[in-house]
Chains A and B, each alone.
Chain A
């Protein structure tokens, strides 16, 4: 998510690869998480790699590693000395962002700047602050459900008709950007997260340029939203520079939309393919908040990345500076060494130290918001929608890249 501005605006574009990726023949020595093959079968690939490697390697992207054990992922997430967050989206180039700060603070920052940049955001995403957005989130979900139910058509797409709109509308409202620009945001996100560096983009079409306009507009017409708040924050008595504000807003938009959309979609896919779980949640024999954590464990959408800062050994891997490391929280969450019945969704799992929101100082700053949105989205869905099943298994498409979730989810409503 940091790379977006650098990817799109730097002069490194000519080094990026075209959209078509060479097929992967050996996942342990040549993995590529941006391919459709990975998107379709990631959990099987992690399992295979965990037994075989357990840290996979690829020469693609200029050299990258993929640890699959909970132990290794946890260790790297907490080690801010040997690993830097300067760039958190793996692509074919290395970022030219300022070291220690990055393009999208605080996710691309290392201590000590990270601590400062994160401190601005924490109060805005605290449990109490997020609770205030619950009513609006319920209204947004209800409006979407009204629309899904109004034509009495039993065939719907739960990704494009429901999941994708919820986080866009909530975060747009929080930030103070127009909800109606949701399509533009999704375009940025697709380019940045699913096919990083694989598109040529004109400078005026970048997210950076769009958000520059938003900041200018806030300066001319000050208002009380998160962007206005960030513009009022200071470091050592000086307001944040525009690049900091824009980078943070880019982060919140990308991280706040793509990820939660994926979590909601994956949860609905799970329910559509597990009628017994749908029933248990509808009739109250399963507790929704507990189930939400288990769905987050099993379908954790986000894989972060780090760059190696100092030579370091992790498992079988001898990592060198400037190597990428994919921090697959989803793979860690399915490690049988860390979770009993790791390969099953256990709706009432009582002990669940999942890593869906990461670990250590970079714990997802929006985790309370994401959890609330996912809970409300499922609550309203279970309350108002009839039972659903997958209408066309071949039509289900999972995203490529570092955020995993269904982008097409054709469901059939079982209307009595």
Chain B
């Protein structure tokens, strides 16, 4: 599974950090920082899907 994160679309909702803490963290201003880019380890695919499905700004995609 491939994870993409478009930082220019992030508005700091912090939903990805909550549902996918192994894949995202927040910077000092509360914007998301991706901890993994590209191929997602198989055990984190569930988190990747949740992160994509809960981003109100459509800044994250998770594609098989």
Contact = CB atoms under 8 A, between A and B. Distances in A.
A352 B57 CA distance: 12
B28 interface: yes
Q: Is the interface of B mostly helix, strand, loop or mixed?
A: loop
A173 B15 CA distance: 26
Interface in B27-55: 27-30, 50, 53-55
Given A289-B18, A355-B56, A359-B57, A122 B12 contact: yes
A352 B18 CA distance: 13
A353 B11 contact: no
B17 interface: yes
**What interface size band does chain A fall in?**
20 to 34
**What interface size band does chain B fall in?**
10 to 19
Nearest to A122: B29
A126 B26 contact: yes
B37 to A, nearest CB: 21
B63 to A, nearest CB: 15
B53 A351 contact: yes
Contact of A127 (B11, B14, B55, B58): B14
A123 B30 CA distance: 7
Contacts of B55: 353
A381 B26 CA distance: 29
Interface of A: 119, 122-123, 125-128, 289, 293, 350-355, 357, 359-361, 363, 367-368, 371
Given A123-B30, A355-B56, 7 more contacts: A122-B30, A123-B28, A126-B26, A126-B29, A126-B30, A128-B26, A363-B13
